[in-house]
Structure 1
Amino acid sequence: MPHNNNLYPSSKRAWFTVSILLMAYVLSFIDRQILNLLVEPIRRDLEISDTQMSLLMGLSFAVFYTIAGIPLGRIADSKSRRGLIGAGVFVWSLMTAACGLAQQYWHFILCRIGVGAGEAALSPSAYSLIADSFPADKRATAISVYAMGIYLGAGLAFLLGGMVVTFASAQGAIVVPVLGLVRPWQMIFLILGAVGVAFCLFLFLIKEPTRKGIGAGVAVPLKDVGAYLLSIRKTVICHNFGFACLSFASYGASAWIPTFFIRNHGLTAGEVGVYYGTIVMIAGSMGIVFGGRLADFLARRGYTDSNMRVGLLSAILTIPCNVVFLLSDLNLVWALMFFNVFTVAMPFGVAPAAIQEVMPNSMRGQASAIYLFTITLIGLGIGPTAVAMVTDYVFMDDNAVRYSIFWVATVITLGAVVLLWMGLKPYREARQTLARWGEKQEGQPA
């Protein structure tokens, strides 16, 4: 169905923009998640513990991702979003390559900080571009397709990681001109960095849409952004922290699921990469797009809180699926893992789509950055370390990682159910607040 050409780009142009942004997101998640399947070789070579490894996976990346995100979100609300994304891709790709040169733990920490700071430029700008490319009743689906990059990227990371580990066991370290002796896990970071730098050229194919919706083209002082967020604070708190709980469970579990298969089911890293990576790509992509389609379906039937409802539904469905970590039959584990990944993926397209529906256009990038700040710091920053610390300090047994994943994921998902349920009514009220804000702006003299 064609877009209204007076307001939005053609459907073909809009989906082309989404496809380029999706590729950027896939690259970012490969760079972000590749560590999850390289736990054992990196632990061995750097002589570090599970907890130290979790800091590489999560906190070192998340802290600077979140710190850089909010000022970059403000830039996205007024400057070239395409240019900002290009700069971010270039920076995180260079820092990914630098990870491949790390010889000591602190070197690796610094490089992961750089990857996080670079990736912070992508999603606030991407959400804003997509919101200005699609009408409201198609927006959740479009943002969910972009957000498929989470699962396509993570799945490819597992597949690539599995190939590297298999290659390493057969070949060992290799000699590279100029760089000298390079371990196989370091080589993959060097290759990913080079691919990312080359990808920057594709971003020139994006044509920026005009800014649309309530507040488009209005210069908003920072204090007014804060005042507006305070006026819908119940929505902001329930939305951001509710989805952050789901992010905590997702990142905490996915960081250690490969290790769970290796330690508790005796699989090799190569086998986990192929089997689990395939499930993540297929079930995760299906789940996140299903969530967006369901939200748009509900929106067309008059549910003004459809995005929040889908988030709540996904949390409720995920809890019984977490029993997968306690099962012993590997065939049953693989079958239930498909549904676990599907339900876990459902909310991560509708969550940013929900923000676009309650914020003026000139505040969307900043509000998206605050959302990403919250879910990344709590989810990626704490989730993997929480699971590791329960394994190290509560069960004090490496093989108890299955119980750590189960309890951490289940308890925090229950928290998400409570927060998202509490947020339904405030979210509906926030949409009315936006409409009143727009009427007030229209009534002011130019």
Structure 2
Amino acid sequence: MSSPTHLPEVEATFVPKRRALTLLLLTFAYFFSYMDRQILAILQEDIIKDLHLSDAQMGILGGMAFAIFYAGLGIPVAWLADRSNRVRIIAGALAIWSAFTALGGLAGNFWQLLGARVGVGIGEAGSSPPSHSIIADLYPPDKRASAMSIYSLGVGLGAAFGTIIGGVVATYYGWRVAMFVIGLPGLLLAGVIWAVVPEPKRGLSDAQIAMDTARPSLADGFTTLFANRAALHLVAGFTLTSMIGYGLTAFAPSFMQRSFGFTKLDIALKVAPAGAVIVAVAAIASGRIADRLTRRYGPYSQSFMVAIFKTIGLPLTFCVYTATNPTFGIGFYFLSILFSTAYLGVTFALIQSEAPVRLRATWAAITLLVNNMIGLGLGPFLVGMLSDALKPSYGAESLRYSMFVFTAITPWAIFHYWRAGVLLKRKAQERRAAKNAIFT
């Protein structure tokens, strides 16, 4: 009989052979999630003209309508994922949100498009929490940040390719056809994931695998997370960062069209591809740096790393919205996203490393619940509402000033990442002191 602290032989050989494929397919699912989620951004000006909508209404469609159902259903789906086959949940969810993305192309008014976006939110609720849990099971703590950062490529690359494909297709065939083109391929990927991805043993890559077969309750997930002060600061920093990011991303194409005079094709064929490369570099590099810092100093150093990167990126982002020359503005935009997008995979890894093994999907869902209700739900809506409020005074430039004001929230997020690092470092020191006391 195998010792509980060692992997059974079959599982030890399973991990290196299959985990790379699993990570790749889960990243593709996340990629499709963000293509479908962010497609409205590049189509926004066309939809506004066709359906006669305001910036605030687009903010609701791009954020609140999606977030309420995405975040609200994430908890029960994660509860199920901590008890059943996570791969099947991900595949089914992908099929649902892909179908509803395509259905959005049939909308004839605000309410019909709202219903389609609600359906996308319902489907995507089943993707991230079980994916986080699977990746944490397949990769040990000193490789987890790199794995999560690769997974997080789905965010930047999905948004970029959604912009590229959506912008080109909408230019020649209209925004409705773009919704079909973006949504329908996800149905094929759902079938591949269902057939190919294996369900790993829980806690597979942790030093000690919990042998307790008891299934924790949903209340245990909330209790354990809210009792962990470092985790609470990570969730707060993540939520504030996401609120700013969602708000700015939702209106970035509109800002570039209104203030810089770009066309959809300019954004799709010039800005988005370059942005995709920068986001990929930022994600992979930040994951590797974080893993190296973990091996040298401990996991707490990852939180300090995010705080430093965000501090560097803040003045660069301000420059984007104060630039009057489009060339300078886009240059600062590329520099800013190099630092501002380096937080996602690292944060996911830190939260999964703090979570109890049997509650990883639940912790991920709680994190995403708070993040999406506040970050995604409020970010685009507040930017759009502020833009509408400033329009009488600033006209077409109202969006520029709205986005500048929103960027100013960033120091609040930096504080939470710094504080999480302090608490994680203190916990590591206490653990090391207790260990030394045992041997002395």
TM-score, normalised to structure 2, is 0.90
- Per the alignment, residue 424 of structure 2 pairs with 427
**SS in structure 2 opposite 1:130?**
helix
Q: Would the aligned equivalents of 2:152 and 2:283 in 1 still touch at CA under 8 Å?
A: yes
Contact 1:358–1:430 (Cα < 8 Å) also in 2:
no
Distance 1:238 1:131 in 2: 20
**Structure 2 partner of 1:369:** 365
Match 2:32 to one of 27, 30, 34: 27
Structure 1 CA distance for aligned equivalents of residues 299 and 58 of structure 2:
42
Q: Report the Cα distance in structure 1 between the residues aligned to 2:53 and 2:30, rounded to whole angstroms.
A: 30
User: Does the CA contact (< 8 Å) of 2:391 and 2:397 recur in 1?
Assistant: no
Deviation of residue 400 (structure 1)? 2.4
Residue number among 210, 214, 222 corresponding to 2:201 in the alignment = 210
Cα deviation, residue 429, structure 1? 5.3
Q: Letter of the 2:345 partner, please give it.
A: G
In structure 2, which of residues 403, 406, 409 is the aligned counterpart of residue 408 of structure 1?
Answer: 406
Name the amino acid aligned to 1:65.
Answer: Y
* TM-align CA RMSD: 2.2
- For the 8 Å contact 1:144–1:289, the answer to whether it is kept is yes
3-state DSSP class of the match of 1:100?
Answer: helix
Deviation at 1:190, TM superposition (A): 2.0
Residue 141 of structure 2 is aligned to residue 136 of structure 1? yes
> What letter is aligned with 1:86?
A
Q: Provide the residue aligned with 1:165 in structure 2.
A: 170
Aligned amino acid, residue 313 of structure 1: I
How far is 1:202 from its partner? Answer: 1.1
- CA deviation after TM superposition for structure 1 residue 273, in Å: 1.6
Pairing partner for 2:179 from 169, 183, 189: 189
The CA distance in 2 between the partners of 1:79 and 1:394, in whole Å, is 50
Tell me if structure 1 keeps the 8 A contact 2:135–2:147.
Answer: yes
1:6-405 aligned within 5 A: 6=9, 8=12, 9-168=14-173, 184-203=174-193, 204-212=195-203, 213=206, 215=210, 217-232=213-228, 234-322=229-317, 323-396=319-392, 397-405=395-403
C-alpha separation in 2, matches of 1:138 and 1:317? 25
**Distance in 1 separating the partners of 2:431 and 2:220:** 14
CA contact (8 A) 2:299 2:350 kept: no
Number of equivalent positions: 417
Task: Please report how far the alpha carbon of residue 318 of structure 1 lies from its aligned counterpart in structure 2 after TM superposition.
Answer: 1.7
Distance 1:4 1:294 in 2: 28
- CA shift, 1:388, in A, is 1.4
Distance 2:127 2:45 in 1: 30
**Deviations along 1:180-216, whole A, 9 cap, x unmatched?**
xxxx211122233321112112102111221114546
Residues 86-145 of structure 1, C-alpha deviations (whole Å, 9 max, x = no match): 110111112112111111210111110110111111111111111111111111101110
CA contact (8 A) 1:243 1:311 kept: no
Deviations 1:292-346 (A, max 9, x none): 1111010000223133223212221221111122112222222222111111110
**Preserved CA contact (<8 Å) 2:89 2:126:** yes
Tell me the distance in 1 between the aligned counterparts of 2:323 and 2:385: 22
How far apart are the structure 1 equivalents of 2:399 and 2:326?
16
Call closer, same or farther: CA 1:338–1:387 in 2, change over 3 Å.
same
Alpha-carbon offset, residue 166 of structure 1 = 2.1
Report the alpha carbon displacement of residue 434 of structure 1 after superposing the two structures with TM. Answer: 10
Is residue 14–residue 133 contact of structure 1 (8 Å, CA) maintained in 2?
yes
Name the % identity. Answer: 32
Q: Output the amino acid matched with 2:273.
A: T
Secondary structure of the residue that 1:209 maps to in structure 2? coil
Write the distance in 1 (CA, Å) between the matches of 2:254 and 2:345. 27
Q: Which deviations, in whole Å up to 9, do the C-alpha atoms of 1:133-181 show, x marking residues without a partner?
A: 111111110111011010110000110122023214xxxxxxxxxxxxx
Deviations 1:346-366 (A, max 9, x none): 001011111111111101100
Report the Cα distance in structure 1 between the residues aligned to 2:337 and 2:168, rounded to whole angstroms. Answer: 22
Q: Which one is further off, 210-219 or 273-282? A: 210-219
Displacement of 1:384 in angstroms is 1.2
Distance 2:253 2:278 in 1: 16
Name the SS of the counterpart of 1:58 in structure 2.
helix
